[in-house]
């Protein structure tokens, strides 16, 4: 078995590992697709700390089941599955009752425990979700992004025709906009990268705003007929501070901050702003409860993700891709690894 493991900032190695036994309730997977994620890049660059060293990188994967351990009934040899980043503890009350998305000790592959940038892996069957035939493997790599976007939209509880400002045109931001359109809301994406905004427009987003070239607050005022946005989604990795994003919400509006632990740029906000504008602010840092809904959206072709794949690489090229993406963080939206 081979795995990409990080030993320290900038020190990633393709290691030969011993084959893992397939224990009770577990499945052995031949990984077919993975990706170079934001957390992989931050760990490689020394920006984000990990719970162990060396650590196998990789938040998620798509794989073929090659062996099922004793007690496994829902999956069998030859099934194509996606493994989201979230791993339940299996012992808390939520896990025991089957509510793995509510696990109080949830771990993240590639951050808290060994990840999935490897050729083979053994995981608990509850961490592997079977894919329908009509979902292709490259698209399924985006399952986590869609799941966390769904979780954010559910927190906003918007109605048809309401406006939502999305601060950040990264993968999650553009997927959020597509989901908003699917539910007949009106998304407005804000970013400073013209090429990302152009991609959003090609995927059906009518309102995009370049926050370097335009007065965003005035533009949102104009788009909403002077009401400002009913809701704001601020991506934690966005270049602008949260306090700035909240300026686009109407009085009494809602806001959701979306992002993975450890990737936030500037989430400081004066409480008097929240109080004066009577804003409701919530945080979403995973989409564990929404994985099956995300897969359904992929199966129904409700979101387009393939245009966000900037580059596909082979397994042996992961080290070079990590170095390049750490040096040029805006060059690629999504790097998919095909084994």
Alpha helices in 157-256 (DSSP H): 171-182, 194-202, 216-223, 242-246
Q: In what order do the strands lie in the sheet with 11-16?
A: 11-16, 2-8, 55-56
Distance between CA atoms of 118 and 59, rounded to whole angstroms?
Answer: 11
Whether residue 262 is predicted with pLDDT greater than 70 in this model: the reply is: no
152-284 shares the fold of 2-142+305-338? no
Please state the domain extents for the chain: 2-142+305-338, 152-284
pLDDT at 238: 77
| Percent residues over pLDDT 90 in the chain | 77
Q: What is the pLDDT of residue 192?
A: 94
Name the CATH superfamily housing domain 2-142+305-338: Medium-chain alcohol dehydrogenases, catalytic domain (3.90.180.10)
CA angle 296/299/303 to nearest 5° reads: 85
Q: What is the pLDDT of residue 89?
A: 74
| Cβ–Cβ under 8 Å, residues 39 and 260 | yes
How much is the mean pLDDT over the chain? 92
Average pLDDT of the residues in 195-221: 96
Please say whether the beta carbons of 147 and 291 come within 8 A: yes
pTM for this prediction: 0.94
CA distances from 9 to 5, 40, 224, 262 (A): 11, 11, 45, 16
Give the max Cα distance, the chain: 62
Cis peptide before 53 (omega within 30 of 0): no
Asked whether the predicted pLDDT for residue 141 surpasses 90, the reply is: yes
pLDDT digits (tens, 9 = 90+) for 165-174: 999 999 999 9
Closest by CA to 3, choosing from 260, 323, 337, is 337
Cα(259)–Cα(45) distance, rounded to whole angstroms?
A: 18
pLDDT value at position 285? 87
Residue 319 — very low, low, confident or very high, per pLDDT cuts 50/70/90?
A: very high
Q: Tell me what pLDDT residue 291 has.
A: 94
By mean pLDDT, which of 52-56, 93-97, 199-203, 313-317 is the weakest?
A: 93-97
Calpha distance 210→312 (Å, rounded):
28
Q: What is the pLDDT of residues 14-65, one digit of tens each?
A: 999 999 999 999 999 999 999 999 999 999 998 888 878 899 999 999 999 9
Q: What is the pLDDT of residue 264?
A: 63
Structure tokens at 51: 């719970």
Burial per residue of 204-222, b for 16 or more beta-carbon CB atoms within 10 angstroms, e otherwise: ebebbbbbeeeebeebbee
Cβ(308)–Cβ(199) below 8 Å: yes
Residue 210 pairs in a beta bridge with: 191
Rounded CA gap, 187 and 170, in Å? 14
User: Looking at residue 265, what is its pLDDT?
Assistant: 65
Q: What is the dihedral of CA 162, 306, 239, 287, to 10 degrees?
A: 70
Strand partners, 229: 249
What pairs with residue 255 in β-bridges? 232, 281
Q: How far is 92 from 290, CA to CA, in rounded Å?
A: 20
Tell which residue, 286, 288, 289, 305, has the closest CA to residue 135.
305
| Tens-digit pLDDT profile for residues 70-119 | 999 889 999 999 999 988 777 788 777 777 777 777 889 999 899 999 99
Alpha carbons 219 and 55: distance in angstroms, whole number: 45
CA dist 185 and 177 (Å) reads 9
Fold annotation for 152-284 = Rossmann fold (3.40.50)
Q: Which residue has the higher pLDDT, 258 or 264?
A: 258
Cα(228)–Cα(226) distance, integer angstroms? 6
Q: How far is CA 135 from CA 51, 66, 140, 303, in A?
A: 33, 19, 7, 12
Q: What is the DSSP letter of 135?
A: S
């Amino acid at each position: 078995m081979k795995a990409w493991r990080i030993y320290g900032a900038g020190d990633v190695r393709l290691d030969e590992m011993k084959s893992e036994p397939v224990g009770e309730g577990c499945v052995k997977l031949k990984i077919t697709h993975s990706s170079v994620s934001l957390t992989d890049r931050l760990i490689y660059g020394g920006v984000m700390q990990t719970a162990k060293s060396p650590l196998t990188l990789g938040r998620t994967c798509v794989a073929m089941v090659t062996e099922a351990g004793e007690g496994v009934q829902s999956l069998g040899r030859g099934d194509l599955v996606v493994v989201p980043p979230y791993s339940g503890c299996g012992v808390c009350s939520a896990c025991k009752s089957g509510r793995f998305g509510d696990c109080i000790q949830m771990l993240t592959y590639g951050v808290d425990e060994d990840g999935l940038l490897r050729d083979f892996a053994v995981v608990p069957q509850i961490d592997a979700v079977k894919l329908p035939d009509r979902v292709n493997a490259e698209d399924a790599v985006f399952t986590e992004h869609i799941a966390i976007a769904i979780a954010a939209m559910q927190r906003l509880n918007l109605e048809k025709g309401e406006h939502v400002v999305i601060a950040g045109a990264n993968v999650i931001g553009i997927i959020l906009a597509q989901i908003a359109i699917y539910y007949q809301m009106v998304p407005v994406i804000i970013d400073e990268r013209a090429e990302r905004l152009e991609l959003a427009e090609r995927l059906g987003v009518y309102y995009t705003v370049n926050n370097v070239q335009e007065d965003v607050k005035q533009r949102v005022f104009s788009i909403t007929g002077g009401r400002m946005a009913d809701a704001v989604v601020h991506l934690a990795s966005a270049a602008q501070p949260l306090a700035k994003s909240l300026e686009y919400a109407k009085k009494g509006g809602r806001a959701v901050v979306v992002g993975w632990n450890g990737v936030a740029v500037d989430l400081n906000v004066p409480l008097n702003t929240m109080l004066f504008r009577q804003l409701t602010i919530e945080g979403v840092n995973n989409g564990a409860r929404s994985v099956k809904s995300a897969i359904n959206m992929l199966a129904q072709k409700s979101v387009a993700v393939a245009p966000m794949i900037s580059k596909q690489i082979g397994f042996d090229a992961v080290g070079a891709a990590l170095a390049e993406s750490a040096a040029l963080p805006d060059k690629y939206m999504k790097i998919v690894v095909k084994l």
